[in-house]
Amino acid sequence: MTARLKNTVALVTGASSGIGEATARSLAAEGAVVAVLGRRHGRLEALADRVRADGGTAFVVAADITDRQQAAAAVESVAAEFGRLDTVVNNAGVMGVGQAVDSPLEEWDRMLEVNVRGLLHVTHAALPHLLRAAQDSPRGVADLVNISSTGGRVARPGTAVYNLTKFGVNGFTEALRQEVGHRRVRVSVVEPGTVDTELSTHLRDGVRQAVERQIGNVELLRPEDVADAVSYIVTRDRRVAVNEILVRAAEQTW
């Protein structure tokens, strides 16, 4: 495989499992130096070891992106270590499901903190570096990819606040695309449907079982399927901007 991202640096948030882990490995396979960011240091180190065993370069950054200072410091540490930042994948996210009347406010707050504020913290810190990279990269382009969800397009009972966060991510992505696209920073959104990750294991008892029944007859997407979409976006020639990819499991109807 041609190393289409050689001499570039990528940062992936929520990289300790699932889509983030698969995306980091995919970008490393394309030749990018990959900075893996998350809260679970041990898992990040294990991922970095796998990337290195495959011949890639990985840099571990343990941080909580819901903390503005930690998020900014994480981004700056990557740029300082490698002198640039070409690709950012905002993947970190949490999902809470359940009727609004029964939902704990703490669950709503957590979704807002991670899915919205965390993404904003990383994006704000990364944008100056992406703008610079777009000017001096041999590829002539930089990329910001936000991982949203089908929940950012279709609202359903029981997912109101999750919908709020993901519809917000979609709107933010589109507005930012229009702001910086002319400066060769491509801003894109990937909206996965049901994916076989840890996300559903964090749901409350009762809610989790209901979700498992709903998706029981669906062959779930694998994290690698979403990572493929991200890699496709960021490996296009600079003349091509893939603004949005919606990818559902084949049997998913919602």
Provide the annotated active-site residues.
162
Q: CA–CA separation, 52 vs 57, rounded Å?
A: 6
**Residue 58 contacts by C-beta under 8 Å, 6 or more apart in sequence?**
24, 28, 33, 34, 35, 36, 47, 48, 51, 52
Q: CA–CA separation, 41 vs 19, rounded Å?
A: 17
Range list of H helices, 112-241: 119-136, 160-180, 207-214, 223-234
* 62 contacts 41 by C-beta, under 8 angstroms: yes
In single-letter form, the type of residue at position 139 comes to R
Q: Cα torsion at 170, 174, 176, 177 (round to 10°)?
A: 130
Quick one: which H or E segment has residue 36?
strand 33-38
**Strands ordered across the beta sheet of 58-62:** 58-62, 33-38, 9-13, 87-90, 142-147, 185-192, 244-247
Q: CA–CA separation, 56 vs 64, rounded Å?
A: 25
